[in-house]
Amino acid sequence: MNLESKPTKHLEGEVICPGDKSISQRILIIGSLLNYDMEIDGFLDAYDPNSTLSALNKIGASITKNNNTVTLSKRAHSFIDASEILDLGNSGTGIRLMLGLVSGLGISANFKGDSSLSKRPMSRVIDPLREMGALIESNDGKLPINVSKSNIINSYSYKLPVASAQVKSCLLLAAIASKNQINLVEPKITRDHTERMIEHFGGIINYGDDLKKGNIELDYCELKPKGNYRVVGDFSSASFIIVATLISSDSEVLIKNVGLNETRCGLLKVLQMMGAEIQIIQSKEVCNEKVGDILVKSSNLHGIEVPNSIIPNIIDEIPILSIAAIFAKGETIIKNASELKVKESDRLSAISNGLDQLNISHELFDDGLSIHGNNNILNTSQIIDSYGDHRIAMSFLIAGIRTKDGLAVKNCENIKTSFPSFKDIMNSIGMKIDEKN
């Protein structure tokens, strides 16, 4: 599916942010472990969470879905060996978290994914899981992967070589599922949805102080079921609406129900450093996650050097940040972001190739980009290749706002993995995105 974004004069309106993809997948897994009747509201009905839901049902969970509402039913039996291959599609979060769960449960399962997921590195979870006692076979550290019945050791300690919330969450879930303690140390603080959810259900986690930064100690205890859980809005999805509003003229948009977890919304700080006019209103806490409404207005942005310390918390937002940088006065420098090379695509190369098509002056580094912005209207007849990556596709479609004749992006089907209502929401506030033959 190819999409085309036409130039837009201004954006205005009020939208409700779709449910968080990461939280939707985590509550399915942890909710299934609780084995209690539970209703989940605000679930993101998209390809990635749905593939995790399907995989869980194939190992004995009892989950039903009606659009954005999910029901988990208490079951009389334990989890079972998977009789079918568990296909996680394009979901890196789903595969890594499910590997931890299955290893901890001590059941057997075979895993596969689509062509993109099959290229992504899984040794980062396979190696520590093996040290914990998991019996895992893989295709040279990639999918397909087979997990056999395993016995996970107690009091495992591991220092993560790379800052990764998926690796951290995988190992925490393996410990919880096997009823064991674990101690982890992450080099930089990453998104903490798993820890917050564990604590929401009564789990005990101790964190390091200034002398032991990044230290996470999970003491096993029985989690306490609750009758319902509400998924807050996905900040990563909101980021596209935010940047679209900032680069449009005479625009103002209110985005409601946005998750404002401090380990996720670093892009707000970066954009404000660039001169963005953004206001958070009506902030509150829902299921141990901070949530609020974001008011965004058109802004004159300027380039900055993005602080290294914030990179792990904006890694998914760097593609859309790059679009903001195109229309910022001066140079924007992004470094220490080599993790982008092992996402759904090599996002550094994908961004660079798209910038080339738009005739934007930039430099590509091994770990980042330097983008020389301007305030001009883009004039190109080139078609941008998304490389089947949802965040690349959506980012360059946002850039179409500031073009002379519009901007076409090919291979946009994967938008449905994380933000299936993207086109409808963006068009509701004034964008003009349609399918292109």
Number of neighbours of residue 302 by Cβ within 10 angstroms = 15
C-alpha distances out from residue 143 to 90, 94, 104, 111, 412, Å: 12, 13, 19, 7, 24
C-alpha distances out from residue 98 to 27, 101, 129, 157, 307, Å: 12, 5, 12, 20, 33
Dist CA 359 CA 329 (whole Å): 16
Residue 94 main-chain phi, psi, to 5 deg: -60, -50
Active-site option among 316, 346, 424, 434: 316
State the DSSP H helix or E strand holding residue 72, giving kind and residue range, or none if neither: strand 69-72
Q: Is 316 part of the annotated catalytic residue set?
A: yes
Whether residue 145 contacts residue 139, with contact meaning beta carbons closer than 8 Å, is answered with yes
Instruction: Tell me whether the omega of the peptide bond preceding residue 144 falls within 30 degrees of 0, making it cis.
Output: yes
**What pairs with residue 221 in β-bridges?**
none
Dist CA 219 CA 164 (whole Å): 21
Longest dimension (CA), the chain: 63
DSSP assignment of 320-387 equals: HHHHHHHTSBEEEEE-S-GGGGGSSS-HHHHHHHHHHHTT--EEE-SS-EEEEE--PPB---PEEE-T
Give percent helix, percent strand, percent coil of the chain, each to the nearest 5. 35, 25, 40
User: Which of 260, 261, 254, 264 minimizes the C-alpha distance to 292?
Assistant: 260
Whether residue 169 contacts residue 100, with contact meaning beta carbons closer than 8 Å, is answered with yes
**What pairs with residue 334 in β-bridges?**
369
Dist CA 340 CA 346 (whole Å): 6
Secondary structure of residue 408 in the 3-state scheme: strand
- Kindly list the strands in the beta sheet with 63-66, ordered across the sheet, starting from the edge strand earlier in the chain: 63-66, 69-72, 38-41, 228-230
Q: Which residues are catalytic?
A: 316
